[in-house]
């Protein structure tokens, strides 16, 4: 099902490109700017089974994106500058911001050098447990479990299920089913229990994964030392905030901010919601982010920025640079706003 969805999206992007419709729609739909969302930036991996491929792009694709924006005379700005332009209504030039979620080592090793080539600011949103080395990158752990297994046995509800994992296609099917099951569990403790059991059964060390993939506090400080970099908060544990009590959700925001500020000895004024879709961030979370004092908070809801977004600073949409669609031909489609407008039913603001 997910592969079908990817194919439909790819076909839709291709249709917009080859029809030239994005050229006609650009003046109506491109808005005043955009926030680009990334996670990993690193060289392409050769493994056949890569279910989290959508979370990574190559340095070359990032470079192509930056070149495209420069060719259109679009300013690449920090989140502070973006906030200021929206508040002041300074829209004489279109602008774009680059944001990277979670706080991965490759943000320092691969993303920052490319952005330096273009003198382009970036914001990195750090989940404080990841920097501590105690975080659960459960989606990566699940990939590691299935990559090394030939079959997976789990108890889902009252049913004991066994998943074939002998071929890349079978592994992908098992990942899709188990990923959806884990995301749908009622609480973070349930998710932690189930992924820990899978990892223990198949010899995957989640703590080692976190240390290997994520920046330590020393790495965060090294990244923050670059004047192009803004460090933002991404909660303590990377939990689904909408499923937490209001008290816990507020704590996830405030404590993550306090931890980062203590390490960096500077204010942390920008936030990214973990997951960030409608099921993970809604009106309550937008209000909590504002109450916590964040100047901006970004979702994963797709969309361009319009003047009206100034009234919804803690519900900002982003454009995903998705690893499944690393085709330079789609870049003018993405910056035209045509793809996200169709996704949103041509609503300019989706902040409810």
For the segment 150-205, what is each residue's pLDDT rounded down to a tens digit? 999 998 888 889 999 999 999 999 999 999 999 999 888 999 999 999 999 999 99
What phi-psi label fits residue 265: left (phi over 0), alpha (psi between -120 and 50 degrees) or beta?
left
> For residue 17, what pLDDT is reported?
56
The answer, yes or no, to whether residue 21 has pLDDT greater than 90, is: no
Task: Kindly compute the dihedral angle of the four CA atoms of residues 44, 48, 51, 55, in this order, to the nearest 10 degrees.
Answer: 0
Which helix (H) or strand (E) is 163 found in, with range? strand 159-164
Helix, coil or strand: residue 64: helix
Q: State yes or no: pLDDT of 18 exceeds 90.
A: no
Cα 270 from Cα 229, distance rounded (Å): 12
User: Tens of pLDDT along 119-142?
Assistant: 999 999 999 999 999 999 999 999
Beta carbons within 8 Å of 46's beta carbon, 6+ residues apart: none
Alpha-carbon distance of 246 to 293, in angstroms, equals: 16
- Sign, CA dihedral 60-131-133-322, equals negative
pLDDT, residue 14, reads 62
pLDDT of 12 strictly over 70 = no
pLDDT at 9: 58
pLDDT of residue 91: 97
Separation between Cα atoms, residue 267 and residue 263, nearest integer Å: 10
In this structure, are residues 313 and 86 in contact, taking their beta carbons and an 8 Å threshold? yes
Phi, psi of 313 (to 5 degrees): -65, -20
Q: Do residues 276 and 302 touch, judged by C-beta distance below 8 A? A: no
Phi, psi of 281 (to 5 degrees): -150, 115
Helices 283-291 & 246-264 angle (0-180, nearest 10):
40
- The mean of the pLDDT values for the chain is 92
Q: What pTM does this model have?
A: 0.94
């Amino acid at each position: 099902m997910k592969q079908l969805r990817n194919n439909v999206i790819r076909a839709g992007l291709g249709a917009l490109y080859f029809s030239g419709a994005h050229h006609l729609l650009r003046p109506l739909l491109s808005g005043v700017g955009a926030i680009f969302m990334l996670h990993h930036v690193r060289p392409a991996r050769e493994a056949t089974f890569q279910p989290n491929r959508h979370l990574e792009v190559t340095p070359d694709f990032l470079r192509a994106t930056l070149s495209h924006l420069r060719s259109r005379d679009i300013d690449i700005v920090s989140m502070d500058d973006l906030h200021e332009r929206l508040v002041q209504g300074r829209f004489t030039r279109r602008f774009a911001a680059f944001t990277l979620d979670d706080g991965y080592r490759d943000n320092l090793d691969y993303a920052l050098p490319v952005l330096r080539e273009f003198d382009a600011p970036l914001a990195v949103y750090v989940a404080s447990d990841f920097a501590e080395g105690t975080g659960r990158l459960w989606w990566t752990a699940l990939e590691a479990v299935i990559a090394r297994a030939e079959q997976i046995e789990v108890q889902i509800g009252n049913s004991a299920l066994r998943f074939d994992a002998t071929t890349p296609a079978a592994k992908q099917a098992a990942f899709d089913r188990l990923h959806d099951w884990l995301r749908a569990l009622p609480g973070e403790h349930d998710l932690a229990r189930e992924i820990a059991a899978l990892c223990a059964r198949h010899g995957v060390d989640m703590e080692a994964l976190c240390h290997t993939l994520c920046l330590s506090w020393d790495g965060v400080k090294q990244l923050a030392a670059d004047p192009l970099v803004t460090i933002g908060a991404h909660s303590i544990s990377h939990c689904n905030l909408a499923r937490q009590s209001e008290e816990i959700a507020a704590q996830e925001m405030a404590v993550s901010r306090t931890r980062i500020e203590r390490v960096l000895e500077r204010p942390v004024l920008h936030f990214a919601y973990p997951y960030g879709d409608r099921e993970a961030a809604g009106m309550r979370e937008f209000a909590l982010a504002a109450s916590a004092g964040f100047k901006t908070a970004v979702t994963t809801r797709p969309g361009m920025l319009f003047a009206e977004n100034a009234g919804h600073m803690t519900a900002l949409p982003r454009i995903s640079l998705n690893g499944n669609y690393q085709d330079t031909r789609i870049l003018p489609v993405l910056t035209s706003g045509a793809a996200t407008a169709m996704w949103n039913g041509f609503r300019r603001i989706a902040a409810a």
